[in-house]
Every structure is written in C-alpha cells, then in structure tokens.
Structure 1
Amino acid sequence: MEHRQMGKDGPQIPALGLGAWPLGGGMGRVDENTAVDTIHAAIDSGITLIDTAQAYKDSEAFLGRALANGYRDRCFLATKASFDFSSQGIRAGMENSLRDLKVDYVDLYQLHRWDSGTPIGAQMETMVQLQAEGKTRYIGVSNYTGAQLEQAYQVAPFHSDQPGYNLFDRHIEADVLPACREHGIGVLAHSPLAKGLLTGKYTAETVFPSDDERSWLPSFQGESFRHDLDVAGRLEALARDKGLTLVQFAIAWLLRDPAITCVLVGAKSPAQVADYLPAVGVTFSQSELDAIDAAMGLA
C-alpha cells in the first residue's frame, strides 16, 4: 500500500482508508459479523486508516468489536464530533466515541461539519485541549468551505480536512484544495464513488431499500439519476480501455493529485475491499484526463 504524509508535518497514512458510513448502516443494514470481517479484511490488505463518526449509526460499536485482538495497534483510527459543537458537546462526543470504540485515544478527531451556532474559536480550542490531554493525536475538520477552513486554521492549525470529492462533485477544486495546499493540510476525500453512481452497479430502474439513504437522495431520483448513469457508462468505457473497473478508475482519478492524501472508500463486504486495491499507483496521461472531461461534458 502506498503511504502519503498527512499535512506538512503529519504522519504517513495509507492512500486508501476505509470509511465506515456504509458499515454502520447508512446505505442499508450490514450484519455485525460481516462488518467485522470487512474491517479485518481492510486492515489486513493495508487499508489501515479507518474513519468513522458519532453520526455513523452502528459503526463505532462494530469497530469496538473489530479492533480487539491486536487490530487497534495496526490501524490509524479517526472519528468525528457530529452533533453538539459546544465545548461540552465536543468533549462528550469524544468520551462516547472512546467508550464505543473501546479505546483510550483516537489518532484523528475531526469536527464533522461547520456549525455557525458555536464560535469556531471555542470549537478549535476544545479540539486543541483534547489533543493536549492525549485523547487524540491529531485534529482536523470535515465538510468545510475554503473560507471556513481559513477561519478555523487561524485559531489553531490542524492536520486534515475531509471533504466530499469525486468525478461528479468537484466543488472543492475552487477553494478548499487551494487552501489545503497553502497551509499544508492533508485531504481525506470522502464519497469518491458518489455514493454508488461511479460503480456501474445500478440502472435507472434500481429501487433502493428504505433504510438506504439513496432511497431519498435527489441525485438518485428521476432525470438526474438517469443522466449521471449515462455519464458513468461513458466513463466505464474509458476504464475498460485502461484495464480497470469503473470503481478503480474513479478512485485512481482522485489519487492522481498529490494534494489528496487519502481516499476514503466505503465497503460492505471483504470482496468490495479487494476491488479497491488496484486503484493505487495508477497514472493518467493528459490525453486521458481530457477524455474524462469530454465524457462528462466538461471539455
């Protein structure tokens, strides 16, 4: 597994990390034994960064079981404060996560989203205090705009940002990535497969179960869904020409940029974990990148 440095002075982390939202049940229920097997398969294969959050349903409890018997020592464990961003809420979130994860500390603690109801100064100061107390080795943020990153960084420098980024959603290229490059902030990209749009698994007739968030997400409904599936079909043809699955192709496209420290892949089975590995180490020529943009109607 390729490793990259998280930020200008952070640790080496794997280029692929396991995002635990699907394991927790956010995209349909996952059996606990299957979740544990999937986590073990990821760590055994070199995908040793595991990212979860308070909001990821059953994921922290599943991880608490999966990280026993030496697996905790083999992984870089990240979680997030998701709900209450007051100082007391962030602290309570940390304690709840440590309890559910059955660990004494995490490697990375993140603010899950921007909260305008609590001064960012108080939030970041609490994060720094938790770091000083040994509850987390590093601190970061998630889903911030470039301007929000700047505000937070002025209070307390942090090591990572976790934005959504994929071939369909490139909004971070305008302001978030430039801010991260300027300050030397590591980027952990979530939703690299656009929640399944970039897998080639679905058709316009696909019906998602009610406990799967895609049953109500606008991008999986009607004309928007059909359009994106058509684009994904064109991308899949480019992937085949390169000897890759669409999944591998989409992840490799993200990893082509050295500003991306880690791509967080979701998985609901060990087989899905194995499918991600060939994406690491792939390079693209400029003509291939131009073909991707043309397939998406951006050229």
Structure 2
Amino acid sequence: MRESQLGALTVSSLGLGCMGMSQAYGVRDDDAESIATVHAAIDAGCTFLDTADVYGDGANEELVGRALAGRRDQVVLATKFGFRRDQAGDTMPTIVDGSPEYARKALDASLRRLGVEHIDLWYLHRRDPQVPIEESVGAMAEAVQAGKVRHLGLSEVSGETVRAAHAVHPIAAVQSEWSLWTRDPETGVLPTLRELGIGFVPFSPLGRGFLTGQITSPADFGPDDMRASMPRFTGDNFQKNLDLVAKVKELAAARGVTPGQLALAWLLAQGNDVAPIPGTKRRSYLAENLGAADITLTPEELTALDEAFPPDAVAGDRYNEGGMKMVGR
C-alpha cells in the first residue's frame, strides 16, 4: 500500500471508513464480518481507520475497539466529536456542539469505547456556529498536550475556518466529501489546505456507493438506509445521476477495472496529500476497493473522467436543507 501525507501524519493512501458497520446503510447485522473486514484491511496494509463517536450512538467506536484488541499499534486511528443526536434512534445527528466542555467529555468517552490510551487523529465533526473555532481547537490542543491525541483535524469546514484553526494549533487533515460526483472541495477548501500543508481525507469517495454501478433503482435501498431520503437519490435526480454513472462504467470496462476502482484511482491521482476512506463492512468489497491502489491512470483517462463527470453535472444536493447548512462553515 502506498502512503499519503496528512500534515505531519503519514497514513496508508487508502483508509477504511467504518461508519456503515453500525449505521446509515442498512441494518447492523454482522459484527463478526465487520471485525474480520477490519483485520483484513490491516493485513493488506490499509491501516488508516476512521470512525466517530456519533456513529451508531457510540457502537461503532466500541466495534472498532474490539477489532483493534491486540493490534492497536498497527493502525492510525481517527475519530470525531461534535455531533449529538436530539434523541436516540435519529437517522441523522441534529445538534452540533463544539464547546470546550463537550470536547473534553466526548474525548474521554471515545477513549473508553475504543479501549485505547490515545487517538492518532481527532476531528471536530462540524463547526459549531455558536462557538468560535479558536475555542474548539484550543480545547482540542489541550488534549494533544495531555497525550490523549496526536494530531488534529476538521470536517466539512471552509478555508477561512481552516486558517483560523491552524493559527491556534497545526491541523493535519480536513475531512469532507470528495469524489467524481462531489467536486466542491477543488475550488473551495482544497487550495487553502495545500497552501498550508494540510492533507485531505475524502469520505464517501464512491458517491455513497453510487459510483460502483451496483445501485440501479431507489428500490435497492432498505428502510434503514439513509440514502433513500437524500436528494441525489430521489425523484428525477436519481435517473439523471444514474446516466452519469453509466459513463464511468464505460470507461472502467475499457480499462478492465470496476467502476468503483476507477473512481478511487481518480482520487488517488489527485496527490499524495489525499487519503480516501471508502467504507465497507464486507471483506469482498474491501478487496475490490484496495485494488484501486494498483491502478495508475493515464492523463488521457483522467481527462476522460473529468469530461464525463464535470463539477456541476450531478443533480441534487448532498444532504437535505438542514444538513447542507452544517457544511462549509
């Protein structure tokens, strides 16, 4: 596995997003397979693991903690804080809390659930508009000084927020959605990150599974799948976006790879300061994703993908109105 550089932190260029093991994309039905997937990732050199305290109301951190028993020193472990649910069982978190008091409480709870003494990369999940970013990052910096955290990150923030945060304590990485069908970071936060030497961690690099070509109908989503209510997967937007994926499938077939591998290879080609974290809870999909690390796209192939999926081609917002208000702050 090749490596990427996130500020002063070195990680495997492909990571493993663990959220779907506990929420969002269907029923949590097989923790044993999820743990086996984590172990298979580590064995393959995919050692950058991503979770968050809100995933499954803490269940995902507990699951990752069990998977890392006896293997903690083999991984770079990332988690996040800053989201709270209005009530248990909510599909999406509704409260953002970046207060120093909550940061300290959340960190200790994450360490306990994960069963570790420190976190390698600790993100603020969303910026709290009621709390100056300097105060949130100041509390996070205290955790670094206490030895509970090694590096700091932010998620779904603007370039201006990154600058203000980085002035308080070095920021290693910013995590936001980036893929062929979410191109916003390229003209948004990414130029600021590269100016400051901060890495980028794309989540949902497969377009929440859409870029794999395996989703062909809204009926593919079960009742517990958050995508069933997301704008890009509903109404006329679904078919418009499906037509875009068809182009990716054609290019992938010409190369002899899967559409998902082609989409990941496109992101990996964007620079060694980029470390995508495709999520899966199945070893079979993990193996497919990791195959992207062996694909080097030609300039002609990169141009063809850019032309097939221009930045403004996708129909629909990433989230509903409330969710969109939480990004780019």
TM-score, L = length of structure 2 = 0.86
Write the deviation string for residues 120-170 of structure 1: whole angstroms up to 9, x where unpaired.
111111111100101011111111122221222222221111111000110
Range that drifts further, 194-203 or 283-292: 283-292
SS in 2 for 1:89: helix
CA contact (8 A) 1:177 1:259 kept: no
Q: State the distance in 1 between where 2:188 and 2:310 align.
A: 22
Pair 1:204–1:260, CA change in 2 (3 A): farther
1:76 equivalent to 2:76? Answer: yes
2:41 alignment counterpart: 42
CA separation in 1, counterparts of 2:35 and 2:298?
A: 38
**Residue 3 of structure 2: aligned partner:** 3
Q: CA deviation at 1:282?
A: 2.4
Matches of residues 1-299 of structure 1 in structure 2 within 5 Å? 1-7=1-7, 10-30=8-28, 31-57=30-56, 58-68=59-69, 70-83=70-83, 84-258=97-271, 260-296=273-309
The aligned amino acid for 2:25 is M
Q: Distance in 1 between matches of 2:82 and 2:62?
A: 16
Q: Measure the CA separation in 2 of the matches of 1:196 and 1:82.
A: 26
Specify the code of the residue in structure 2 equivalent to 1:13. V
Equivalent position amino acid for 2:38 in 1 = I
Q: Counterparts of 1:43 and 1:202 in 2: how far apart (Å)? A: 28
Q: Distance in 1 between matches of 2:153 and 2:292?
A: 26
- Give the secondary structure class of the aligned counterpart of 2:216: coil
Matches of 1:279 and 1:287 in 2, distance apart?
18
Asked if structure 2 preserves the Cα contact closer than 8 Å seen for 1:141 and 1:160, the reply is yes
Query: Deviation at 1:205?
Result: 4.7
Judge which range, 142-151 or 225-234, deviates more.
142-151
The residue aligned with 2:316 is none
Structure 1 runs not aligned, ≥5 long: none
Instruction: Name the amino acid aligned to 1:28.
Output: G
C-alpha RMSD over aligned residues: 1.5
Q: State whether residues 174 and 200 of structure 2, in contact with CA within 8 Å, keep that contact through their aligned partners in structure 1.
A: yes
Q: Rate the CA distance shift 1:297–1:14 in 2: closer, same or farther, 3 A.
A: closer
Q: 2-side partners of 1:228 and 1:24: how far apart?
A: 27
Paired with 2:218 and 2:139, the residues of 1 have a C-alpha distance of: 47
Residue identity over aligned pairs, in percent, reads 38
Q: Give the secondary-structure state (helix, strand or coil) at the position aligned to 1:175.
A: coil
SS in 2 for 1:195: coil
| Separation in 2, partners of 1:218, 1:164 | 15
Partner Cα separation in structure 2 for residue 125 and residue 77 of structure 1 = 21
Structure 2 runs not aligned, ≥5 long:
84-96, 314-329
**What is the total number of aligned residue pairs between the two structures?**
296
